[in-house]
Amino acid sequence: MKIAIGNDHAATDLKNEIMEYLTQKGHEVINFGTDTKESCHYPIYGEKVARAVAAGEADCGVLICGTGVGISIAANKVKGIRAAVCSEPVTARLVKEHNNANIIAFGARIVGAETARAIVDAYLSAEFAGGRHQSRIDMISALEK
């Protein structure tokens, strides 16, 4: 898969670990995040990943900041984006199955590397269930109009 990844200064180390993990698994990872630990503004990176996913330049996105919250709020302002914060793998699977989340987010100050790897694995191996869930996503999309 083609995966867009983005992060702020709070998540540079975890971003690097997850990039390496995904690359080893055969994914193509496009890095939109900061590569330093110098204080920066997470909306910049949330927007970059969201725009790449919304434009179809990436199949999905991974966003990491301190909590995963600020960067996902920013991403969710871009039309067509459903970014979901997950701190464990069950939610990561369900946000794909039920919400067809096209971006997963988590916090480098909340989860360690092992949990982060389990989160991306659960998300990437899940499939959208469709059916009644599609109607609910259609309702969310209607809010963007």
Query: Minimal distance in Å, beta carbon 90 to ligand RB5?
Result: 22
**Cα gap 33→6, rounded to integer Å:** 4
- Of residues 19 through 38, those in contact with ligand RB5 by CB under 6 A are none
Place of tokens 């990039």: 19
User: What number of CA atoms fall less than 13 Å from residue 144's CA on the CB side?
Assistant: 12
Q: Output 21 or 66, the one with its CB closest to ligand RB5.
A: 66
65 a catalytic residue = yes
Residue 12 interacting with ligand RB5 (CB under 6 A)? no
Residue 63: phi and psi, rounded to 5, are -125, 135
Helix, strand or coil, per DSSP, at residue 103: strand
Residue 65 contacts ligand RB5 per CB under 6 A = yes
Binding site for ligand RB5 (CB under 6 A): 8, 10, 42, 65-67, 69-70
